Copies of this chain bind each other. A is one copy, B any other.
Amino acid sequence: MPANTFGQIFRVTTYGESHGPAIGVHIDGVPPKLKISESDIQFQLNRRRPGQSSITTQRDEKDQAQILSGVFEGKTTGAPMMILIGNTSQRSQDYDDIKDLFRPGHADFTYHQKYGHRDYRGGGRSSGRETAARVAAGAVARKILTKQNINIIAYTRSIGPIDAENFDYSLIEKNKVRCPDPVAAEKMVQHIEEMQAKNDSAGGIIEAIVHGCPAGLGEPAFDKLHALLAHAVLSIGAVRGIEFGEGFAAARMKGSTHNDKFFIDGDQIRMMTNHAGGINGGISTGENIILRVAVKPTASISQKQQTVTTDKQNTVIEIDGRHDPCICPRIVPVVEAMIAITLVDSMMHHNAVSTILNDQ
């Protein structure tokens, strides 16, 4: 797989820089005759777009999706979909000052080392803006999953020191931090505002649950389902860790506790517990898939920080611009999108091999 493509059969390929004319996504392997419209995509883009609340960046980017190919008379044709999202709210002059400096916690230095020069405007290709393209592709993937009754939800579980303690999923979209616990949500917003006031930033933990995923997805050896999902989710810039089911806590458990025992539920084989988080031997069990993702605090802060210039002088940087004091609320739909893309691709891989002889 090349850098800018994810998936093998359902293939998502993004492009675009923060301050170029546009970003977007090429989606290959979309099955034909799927009903899809620009508004299906826009709905998800709106959940990720800047300027949606007082605690997100105040850039007012509309993130308007335009379908350039692959759809005819409201249905996919089997040809690749190209979705284009124009960049409209760039203020490139904000970045002139950092042209010859490396912002701590950003990709400025590593891109400079890798490529010898860089598009410094808003982080260029390394900007979180690239994830809008993923959300657009995820919207297509979700249309496919919905037809299979597979549903993905993600939400903020922690921000800084504050953890959700109650989980009413119907409330996730009702608060600014996308947290299923409204009391915790209130505290999270306060924490973010405090950080913002101090020109600082916060991180957090996102949890995601997949309902209705059939048993059998994922492949033995190297494409175990958690390996694929980890690849997908750790390709989101701010993510620093992932765990499935009990995750790191499993390291402290005994086998007799951690093993999920089977029982017969009507005519179905089920598990009494779901410590494994819905995946065993790298293949989905049919129980809910559960994962958690560590999100680092936003690197862009308006405090003075020590850094160096491209010609190797020590200096100090102070980043202006309009930044998210905590990226968690906006990363939720990105995590969902990456999970959706991974599951569709896994289903296609599974079908490819398993259906060919099913007339036996």
Contact = CB atoms under 8 A, between A and B. Distances in A.
A61 interface: no
Given A13-B13, A283-B110, A1 B8 contact: yes
Given A113-B215, A258-B203, A351-B351, A282 B107 contact: yes
Contacts of A54: none
Interface string A275-303: 01101111111100000001111111101
Contacts of A144: 356-357
A52 interface: no
Nearest to A17: B69
B360 A351 contact: no
B16 A2 contact: no
A195 B252 CA distance: 12
A29 interface: yes
What 7 pairs across the A-B complex have the smallest Cβ distances?
A: A107-B281, A241-B243, A3-B219, A201-B255, A110-B283, A352-B352, A79-B125
A243 to B, nearest CB: 3
Interface in A106-134: 106-111, 113-119, 124-126, 130
B2 A223 contact: yes
Interface string A211-229: 0000110111111101110
A5 to B, nearest CB: 6
A34 interface: yes
Contact of A248 (B72, B286, B294): B294
Contacts of A298: 255
Given A26-B13, A147-B360, A243-B241, A215 B250 contact: no
B357 A348 contact: no
Contacts of A195: 254-255
A357 to B, nearest CB: 5
Nearest to A230: B230
Interface residues of A, number: 160
A6 interface: yes
Contacts of A6: 221-222
A360 B33 CA distance: 9
Interface string A95-109: 000000010111111
Contacts of A300: 255
Interface string A336-360: 0000000010011111111111011
A215 B69 CA distance: 24
Contacts of A333: none
Contacts of A280: 105-107, 109-110
Given A4-B80, A283-B107, A353 B70 contact: no
A298 to B, nearest CB: 5
A348 B353 contact: yes
A314 interface: yes
27 contacts: A2-B29, A3-B219, A3-B223, A4-B79, A5-B11, A5-B222, A8-B8, A15-B82, A17-B72, A69-B125, A79-B119, A105-B276, A108-B281, A125-B221, A199-B256, A201-B254, A203-B258, A205-B248, A224-B235, A230-B234, A242-B242, A251-B294, A253-B296, A254-B297, A264-B313, A269-B308, A344-B356
